[in-house]
Amino acid sequence: MPMFVDTSPPGQCIFCRLIKGEIPAARVFEDDETLAFMDIGPVTPGHVLVVSKRHAANLFELSADEAAAVMRTAHKVAHAVREAFDPPGLTLLQANGRAGNQTVFHFHMHIVPRHADDGIALSWPRQEPGRDVLEAYAARIRQRLA
């Protein structure tokens, strides 16, 4: 089954329409900068999405304040999900770009309650490049941070 990919123009994407109330949603929490709502195709009971209200396709288009607002909402909602569903684990997931498996190009974060044998697989091929290579990678990042 092909994965849904929303390629609508900014301001007309499915999340923008949902924020404007043009599409119904099971809203969980809302403030001036964010909206949290139930995922229409939940992986587990209690699966919630947190979106920035301003359209930003990905993390790189958000301001630092907007990113902080999304994390504040995710933190608040994650606590409520834990109290409501008592999952033994929880995953926060945020993807950027097609190569990152982003399917709706409006910044959002998934709050996914986790259970043993829930069918979710988050794995990647581990690489061990060695300390010198890791130090070189760190230096490249530090240079950009300076």
| Active site residue ranges | 108
H-helix or E-strand spanning residue 112: strand 108-114
How far apart (Å, rounded) are the C-alpha atoms in residues 86 and 73?
A: 19
Diameter of the chain measured on Cα atoms: 53
Residue 59 phi/psi, 5-degree rounding, is: -55, -35
How far apart (Å, rounded) are the C-alpha atoms in residues 108 and 144?
A: 25
How far apart (Å, rounded) are the C-alpha atoms in residues 79 and 46?
A: 11
Tally of helices (H runs) and strands (E runs) in the chain: 3, 5
